[in-house]
Amino acid sequence: MKKSLVSLFAMSLALGPVSLSAEENSTDYDAVKEVGKQVERIRAHNDGPQGLNAVITYSYTAGFKAREMSDVGILRGRTVLVKDNIETEEFPTTAGSLALKYNFTRRDAPLIANMREAGGVVLGKANLSEWANIRSNSSTSGWSAVGGLTRNPHAIDRNSCGSSSGSGAAVAAGFAWGAIGTETNGSITCPAAINGVVGFKPSVGIVSRTHVVPISSTQDTAGPMTKTVYDAALLLTAIAGEDSADNATKDAVRVSDYTAGLSDYSLQGVRIGVMRKQVGDNDAVEEVFETALADLKAAGAVIIEIEHDLNTDMFGNSFTVLLYELREEMGKYLESIPAIGGGPGETDSDVAPRSLADLIAFNKANADIEMRWFDQGLFQAAELTTDREAYEKARETAVRIAGEETLNALMTQHNVTFLVAPTRGPAWMSDLVLGDQFNGSIGFGSPAAIAGYPHLTVPMGEVERLPVGISFFGTKWADHDILKVGAAYERARSAQLPTPSFKRWSPEG
C-alpha cells in the first residue's frame, strides 16, 4: 500500500501526543477511539513538503482490526508501527532500499506474530535509515530511498537520528500507541532520545531476529519505542519469546511480565554509577542531566561518581564483526525471501537480490537515486571482509572488553546496580550534503550494544525545546530491573518535557 494520498496540512491540527498513566495503559486505554486520532495525525503531519516522512505506509482498516482485537491479550487492540526492516505479512519489507521495494514475503517475523497473539495491531511501516545505517560512513540518519528523509516532530529541520528514525518520530508525533525499532549500536536509543520518547534495547536474545533484515547476529535486536516506560515494558512482554530459528533466544533469561513491579519500585538505597566522562562537553546537556541526577537522589538513590576511559579496542574489533556478519547474514536473509520482481505478484527470481554483492551492483546501477547523497563504502568493505579467523578473534575481544571488562567490571568495582549517562545531545540540523553532525562526546551506549546488554533511554528534559534523554544500563538479562529503575526515574522526574511543534526550529520558539 502507498502512503495516504490525503495531505491535510491546511487543517493545522494541534494534536500533540498524550502521555498515559500506567493505570490507563493497563485498563482504560480505548484502542478503537485512539486509532482514529492516530490516523488523523498521520494524514495531517506525515506527508507533503513539510511532513515528517515517519510512516512509509499504513493500513486503512486498522480501526476495524483494533475493534476486533480490543479484548484480546495484553495489548487489546493497541496500534504499533513497525520499522521497515521487520517483516509483516501485509506489507513489503524494504529496509528503505529500492532493491527490496517489492519484497512482499507474506511472512510475519516471529516477534510480530507474538505481538498479534497478544492483541497488537500492525498500523503500518515506519521509515528508517536505509539498510539501518550500515551502507556508508557519510550517510544522513533518517534517509531512505523508499521513504525520503524522516523529520523530527520537535523541529522539522532537525534530524530524527537513526536508524529507527521513523519509529521514534512517529511515537513522538502520536501516530501510533507504540513502535518497534531495531538496534545494532544506538539505533533504538538515539532516535528515542532525540525525538523525546522512551526506547528500550533489550539484551540480545530476549526478542527473535528471524525475518528481520540483518546486520549482526552478535549485536542486532528489536525493541519497543513508546511514550512511557510502562508501555515499553508492555510491548516488550508482547514481542519477547524463544525462537528455534534464532540460537540467541534459546538461553535468554526472560520474565513473563515486564510490567510487574514497575509502579512500586523504590529508588531508596539503590546505588547508581554516573559515567562522568561520558556526560560530554555540552554544558546545556550536562545541566539537564544534573537535574535528572538530583531527581534520582531526591527519590532515595545513592549516586556514585565514576571516572572511566573506554578501552577503544572494542570499537575496531566490533567494526570487524559488523562487516563480516553483514556479508554473511545479509546473504542468508536475501536467499530466504521469496522471489521478487517489478511488482506484487511477479516472480522473476533473476532480478531478486540474493547477496550483498547483488545489492552493491543494484546501487551502482541506480546510483542517481540510491547514491545521490552518500556512497556504499561500508557495503564494499563488508564484501571484502572474509577472514573468519580474524572475525572470531575480533568478536571474542569486542564482547569481552564491552561486557566483562567494562560494564561488569565497573558495576562490581563501584558496587552499583545501574550505570547512567546522557543518551545523546539534542538533534542536529539535517544535511543531506554533509551527512550527520552529532556530538560524539556524549553517551555510553556502545558497550551495551557490543556486549548485547540492555539499554533504556527515558526523556529527561530539553535543550532549547529539543528533547534529551537519560540512559540506564545494567548487566545482561537485567532487562526487568532496568525497566523498573527507568519507571521510578520517570515518576521522580521534575523537568518539563517539550511537545512537538511540527515546525522549523527558531530562537523565538
Tell me the catalytic residues.
83, 163, 187
Q: What angle do CA 410, 413, 414 make, to 5 degrees?
A: 80
Which three cell numbers, joined as nine digits, stand for 379? 557495503
Sign of CA dihedral 368, 373, 379, 380: positive
Angle between helices 313-336 and 356-365 (to 10 degrees): 90
Three-state DSSP at 174 gives coil
Which three cell numbers, joined as nine digits, stand for 143? 534517509
**Using CA atoms, how far apart are residues 459 and 227, in angstroms rounded to an integer?**
9
Question: Over the range 222-247, which residues count as b (16 or more CB within 10 Å of their CB) and which as e?
Answer: bbbbbbbbbbbbbbbbbbbbebeebe
Residues in the chain: 509
For 413, list phi and psi in degrees, rounded to 5. Answer: -60, -40
**Using CA atoms, how far apart are residues 41 and 28, in angstroms rounded to an integer?**
21
**Using CA atoms, how far apart are residues 41 and 15, in angstroms rounded to an integer?**
7
Give, as one character, the DSSP assignment of residue 276. Answer: G
Q: Is the peptide bond before 129 cis (omega within 30 degrees of 0)?
A: no
C-beta of residue 322 within 8 angstroms of C-beta of residue 315: no
Strand order in the sheet with 121-126: 55-58, 121-126, 79-83, 178-183, 221-226, 198-201, 455-463, 466-473, 418-422, 271-275, 302-306
Q: Which amino acid is at 483?
A: L
Going by C-alpha positions, the residue among 325, 324, 338 that lies closest to residue 87 is 338
C-beta of residue 141 within 8 angstroms of C-beta of residue 133: yes
CA 50 and chain centroid, separation: 23
N-terminal to C-terminal alpha carbon distance within the chain: 37
